[in-house]
C-alpha cells in the first residue's frame, strides 16, 4: 500500500519537477534576452495569473484559485516595491516579511479541503491571503518599514546558507511548510496538492536567489503554467473519467470513436442481475460490484479499450479487429469476471483501508469468511460493416446482440455476424488452447 501510494505521488510530481528544472536551466538565458522581450516577460505572470483565476472560477477549482491569488500577490508586491537593492533598510524589512508570510499562506492552502469555488467560500479566504500583502505594500509606501529594521529578531537577519538570501527563520518555515505539503500530498494524492507543493518549492528558490535578474517573473510564470495545466487536467478528468471506476466515460468513448478509423468492432457489456445486488445488499455493494467488474475487465482486456457507458453498462472498443478476432478477447473478459470470487464487504467495515485489512485478517483467523457471490456479465459484439457504417449504428447493433445474450440465459457473448454454433466452437478452441498453453 505504501509503495503504491508513493509511486502515485511521484507520478503526480512529474509535471512539477519538469517545470522546476526548466526554471533552473532557464535562468542563464533570461539575461541575454533583448530589452523588449525582457519587458514582455516581466508582464507574463500577470497575464497567466488572470487566465488562471478565470479558469479556476469557471472550472470550480477553489484551492487552485487561492494558490494563484497567493502567487499573484507575492509577484505584484515584488514588482512594485522590491525592484531596488535589499541594502535599503525598508526593502530588507519587506523582503524579510515576505519570506515569512508566503510559507504561512502555503500552510493554510495545504490544510483547506477542496470544496469547489463559491463566492461565499472564496471571498473570506481570498481576503486572508490578499490583506497581508496589501498592508505590507501600504506600510512600505508610508515609509514606516525602515524603522523596523532594529526590531527584527536575529533569526530573520542571519542567513541560513550564506550567500543565499533566506534567513534562518524563513528557511525553517519553508521546510516546515514543504513537509506539511508532502504529508497532505501523500494522503490526498491529488494533482492540485502536487502543484501547491511545487509552488512552495518554486517560491523558496525565488527568494533564495532573489538577487538574480528576472527570477521572480520566471518562477511565477512556471508555477502559474503548472496551475493552468492542473486546472485543465482536472477539468478533463471530471468530464472524461468516471469517478467510481476510474475508467474513461461516455464522452471519452464518443471522442475515441470520432477518430477510430474504418476497421473496428464494438461490444456492449451489461452486469447480469445488477438490480438484485442493489436491492439485496444496498447501493454500496452495487458500487463495489461495479468497481470489481471494471477492474477485472481492465486486467483481461488486452487488445481492447474499455469505457464505462453508464449505469451498469460498459463498452469495449476493438480497434482494427473484426468480430472473429474480437470474440476470443470478449470471452476471456467475460470468464475473468465470472471466475472472480466476489466477497461482499461487511456493513461494519471501517473506512480506513489499513483497519479494514486488520479486521479481515482477524476474521480469517476466526474462520469467519465474508459472503461470496458470483457476478456475471453478458456481452453483445458487432463489427463495422457496410450495413453498420457509423459508430452509432455499430453500437446499436451491439446493444441488440447484448439483449440476445440476455434472452439466451445471460453470462455469454453474442456476436452480430457470427452464428451461435460457430461462436461456441471458437470459444471451445480458444479455451482448449489456453489450457494446453
Q: Tell me the per-residue pLDDT of 38-57, one tens digit each, with 9 for 90 and over.
A: 778 888 999 999 999 999 99
- The two beta strands, 342-343 and 372-373, are antiparallel
Using pLDDT thresholds of 50, 70 and 90, give the confidence band for residue 427.
Answer: low
- Supply 188's cell numbers: 490526498
CA distance 298 to 169: 51
The answer to whether residue 418 scores a pLDDT higher than 50 is: yes
Structure-block grid coordinates of residue 207? 527568494
Lowest mean pLDDT among 141-155, 314-328, 410-424: 410-424
Q: pLDDT at position 18, please?
A: 84
Q: How confident is the model at residue 80 (pLDDT cuts 50, 70, 90)?
A: very high
Rounded Cα gap, residues 234 and 248, in angstroms: 14
Return the pLDDT at 362: 54
pLDDT at residue number 369: 54
Highest mean pLDDT among 166-170, 213-217, 344-348: 166-170
Identify the bridge partners of residue 414 per DSSP, sorted by sequence position.
380
Kindly report whether the global pTM for this prediction surpasses the value 0.75. Answer: no
Torsion-angle region of 299 (φ positive above 0: left; ψ -120 to 50: alpha; else: beta)? alpha
Output 23 or 151, whichever has higher pLDDT: 151
CA-closest candidate to residue 190, choices 112, 272, 305: 112
User: Is the pLDDT reported for residue 437 higher than 50?
Assistant: no
Res 42: pLDDT: 85
Report the chain's mean pLDDT, rounded to a whole number. Answer: 85
Q: What is the pLDDT of residues 223-257, one digit of tens each?
A: 999 999 999 988 888 778 888 898 999 988 988 88
Max Cα distance, the chain (Å): 94
Report pLDDT for 272: 92
What pLDDT, on the 0 to 100 scale, is given for residue 400? 94
Residue with the three cell numbers 472498443: 317
CA distance 141 to 155: 25
Query: Pairing mode, if any, of strands 413-415 and 264-271?
Result: unpaired
Q: Give the span between the Cα atoms of 109 and 104, in whole angstroms.
A: 9
Distance CA 286, CA 94 (A): 58
pLDDT of residue 291: 92
Higher pLDDT, 259 or 226: 226
Q: What is d(CA 380, CA 398) in angstroms, rounded to the nearest whole number? A: 5
Phi/psi of residue 189, each to 5°?
Answer: 55, 55
Is the separation of the CB atoms in 76 and 129 below 8 Å? Answer: no
Mean pLDDT lowest for which of 127-141, 303-317, 358-372? 358-372
CA angle 342, 426, 408 (to 5 degrees): 60
- The answer on pLDDT for 308 being more than 80 is yes
What lies within 8 Å, CB to CB, of 244 at 6+ separation is 287, 290, 291, 308
Burial class (CB in 10 A: 0-12, 13-18, 19+), 151: exposed
Amino acid at each position: 500500500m505504501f509503495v503504491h501510494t508513493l509511486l502515485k505521488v511521484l507520478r503526480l510530481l512529474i509535471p512539477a519537477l519538469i517545470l522546476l528544472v526548466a526554471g533552473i536551466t532557464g535562468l542563464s538565458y533570461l539575461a541575454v534576452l533583448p530589452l523588449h522581450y525582457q519587458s514582455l516577460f516581466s508582464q507574463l505572470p500577470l497575464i497567466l495569473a488572470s487566465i488562471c483565476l478565470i479558469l479556476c472560477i469557471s472550472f470550480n477549482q477553489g484551492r487552485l484559485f487561492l494558490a494563484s491569488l497567493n502567487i499573484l500577490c507575492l509577484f505584484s508586491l515584488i514588482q512594485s516595491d522590491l525592484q531596488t537593492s535589499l541594502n535599503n533598510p525598508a526593502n530588507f524589512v519587506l523582503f524579510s516579511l515576505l519570506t515569512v508570510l508566503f510559507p504561512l499562506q502555503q500552510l493554510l492552502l495545504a490544510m483547506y479541503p477542496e470544496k469547489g469555488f463559491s463566492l461565499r467560500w472564496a471571498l473570506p479566504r481570498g481576503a486572508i491571503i490578499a490583506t497581508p500583502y496589501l498592508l505590507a505594500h501600504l506600510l512600505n509606501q508610508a515609509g514606516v518599514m525602515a524603522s523596523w529594521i532594529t526590531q527584527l529578531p536575529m533569526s530573520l537577519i542571519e542567513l541560513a546558507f550564506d550567500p543565499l538570501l533566506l534567513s534562518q527563520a524563513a528557511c525553517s518555515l519553508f521546510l516546515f511548510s514543504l513537509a506539511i505539503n508532502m504529508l497532505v500530498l501523500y494522503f490526498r494524492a491529488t494533482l492540485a496538492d502536487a502543484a501547491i507543493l511545487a509552488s512552495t518549492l518554486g517560491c523558496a528558490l525565488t527568494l533564495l536567489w532573489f538577487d538574480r535578474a528576472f527570477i521572480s517573473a520566471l518562477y511565477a510564470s512556471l508555477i502559474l503554467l503548472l496551475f493552468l495545466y492542473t486546472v485543465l487536467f482536472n477539468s478533463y478528468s471530471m468530464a472524461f473519467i468516471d469517478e467510481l471506476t476510474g475508467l474513461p466515460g461516455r464522452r471519452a468513448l464518443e471522442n475515441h470513436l470520432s477518430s477510430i478509423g474504418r476497421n473496428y468492432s464494438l461490444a456492449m457489456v451489461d452486469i447480469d442481475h445488477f438490480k438484485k445486488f442493489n436491492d439485496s445488499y444496498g447501493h454500496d455493494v452495487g458500487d463495489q460490484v461495479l468497481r470489481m467488474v471494471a477492474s477485472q475487465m481492465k486486467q483481461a482486456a488486452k487488445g481492447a479499450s474499455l469505457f464505462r457507458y453508464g449505469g451498469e453498462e460498459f463498452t469495449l472498443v476493438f480497434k482494427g479487429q473484426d468480430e472473429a478476432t474480437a470474440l476470443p478477447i470478449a470471452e476471456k473478459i467475460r470468464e475473468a469476471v465470472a471466475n472472480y470470487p466476489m466477497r461482499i464487504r461487511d456493513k461494519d467495515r471501517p473506512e480506513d483501508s489499513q483497519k479494514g485489512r486488520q479486521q479481515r485478517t482477524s476474521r480469517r483467523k476466526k474462520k469467519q469468511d465474508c459472503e461470496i457471490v458470483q457476478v456475471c456479465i453478458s456481452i453483445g459484439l458487432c463489427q463495422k460493416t457496410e450495413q453498420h457504417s457509423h459508430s452509432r449504428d455499430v453500437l446499436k447493433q451491439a446493444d441488440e446482440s447484448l439483449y440476445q445474450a440476455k434472452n439466451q440465459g445471460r453470462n455469454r457473448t453474442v456476436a452480430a455476424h457470427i452464428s451461435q454454433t460457430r461462436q461456441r466452437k471458437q470459444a471451445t478452441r480458444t479455451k482448449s488452447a489456453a489450457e494446453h498453453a
